[in-house]
Chain A
Amino acid sequence: MTDSNQGTLPFKPKSKLFEGIGSGIIRVSAFTALIGIFLIFVFIFKEAIPIFTSEAVQETASLDKMVFKQEFREGRDPLWSWAPNSRQPKFSLMPLVLGSIKAAVIAMLFAVPLAVGAAIYSSEFASKRWREFIKPIIEILAGIPSVVLGFFALIVMATVFREVFGFTYRLNAFVAGVALGLAVIPIVFTVAEDAMTSIPQSLRQAALAVGANKWQVSMTMVLPAALPGIAAGVVLGFGRAIGETMIVLMASGNAPLTTASLFDSIRTMSATIASEMGEVVVGSTHYNVLFFIGTLLFIFTFIINLGGDLILRRIKERIQGKVT
């Protein structure tokens, strides 16, 4: 049977013009963002260039001097020292890099188990109602301004920890790391939880149907399948931990030490820039070095975020079956 109305609906030909304009706008905004990032990098790096070109700057702040131990006085042991304002300025980056790494590692050790555990609970075990309660609350943590977290760490956590653990320094890497962890938890949680909930229900059923219990389904099927996503969350969280400034500025004690102890004060790269950039003489060696630190931070976080993103893309493809 044929319909006498066939082909009579008033379809409109699609406008090529609007399609062109639309995709044009999207392309321009994408490029603007890219150019923006590129320009930021250029402007930061520009101020760090004298480190590579100017002999006056290199006298105190050559790459070699920033990386390796220096002998500042005859007969004394060589050491890493960040003391930009002393009579004999010292620009070793090691205390700052070490401080950043210490704080970030403590933050991750604290945040990852909690965040992943919470994600497993929320995705696999919580009732629907509980889940709708937990998820927003953890995600609200992400919205707390870091200055508030820093303030909390400085006033409350530092005091409590000192009472409990008897720290020599009230403000130290441990306090800063745990506070930093609070900022990292929601990032890891959100990405990990999404990775787990995106595992299709049919796979859980298949696992149950061969006699797995709920715990086994979570641990031997969901968790391995979501692992790349969880790893991406961890990487993104690490990026945040390295770059975060306010919390460490307030809670770390800000002493550029190079001790192995996790309970000594530290100073991070980010906090150094934040606290010294305001007073530095523009164009001085110190100024150039601060920008060099900024460049390093930029590169670190860029690479970390890029890595996290690549992993995330891989997991999506894998779950859709494109990649072996």
Chain B
Amino acid sequence: MDLKLKVWRQSGPDEAGGFVAYDAKEISPDMSFLEMLDVVNERILEEGGDPIAFDHDCREGICGSCGMMIDGVPHGPKSMTTVCQLHMRSFRDGDQLTLEPWRASSFPVLKDLYVDRTPFDRIIAAGGYISVRTGSADEANAEPIRKKDADAAFDAAACIGCGACVAACPNASAMLFTSAKVAHLAHLPQGQTERYTRVLDMVETHDTEGFGNCTNHGACQNACPKGISVDYIAQLNRDLFRATVTTAADPVGS
């Protein structure tokens, strides 16, 4: 199949960028979207050009490195699918596609389709940890966890930190990501010690990193390749409120 691409090219964080048209010719429908870009890049290299930069690592939908806007939708048209797991059979011969990086002031473009997502790392660092006894590991079954809680924690933990939620959000808010990280630990007994300080610290970091605020559009949930639900945002709001008006987040003995 042959496609026409309109790709955002930007040589560096402080350079001006713009769209450049490329032909993607003789593409196999069995290729992944990133393999298609690899082919386009090979040809650009053959002609002595600068290949299109995009972030990727595992190419099996678990690391969260990849991601770009395809025709205005994060990770492209297929729901619950990262762009590395998206195959060219999802498109038709002759399609014209616009490829853009995530757009958020907190995610500056490093090059072309490649953005800097380190603000996510700082949100995690603000509260994504638990207090455990070091040394020999606990017996795995010593602490029973209700199936319901284990499932809720697991669903939240499925977040791969790709940033599609921010890209899709009309407010460029990272609340879905933050709520997944907060809820993941809030559902487990191991996460209780820091439960309320965690939510305060992570939301504060979310805000100081310059992400927008959630106004419940729900675009994030629809964009998320891991199906993280906005119910986790409601849960974050509840925990944040509780942390504010009760002594739950106070240090012991104060």
A and B bind: no
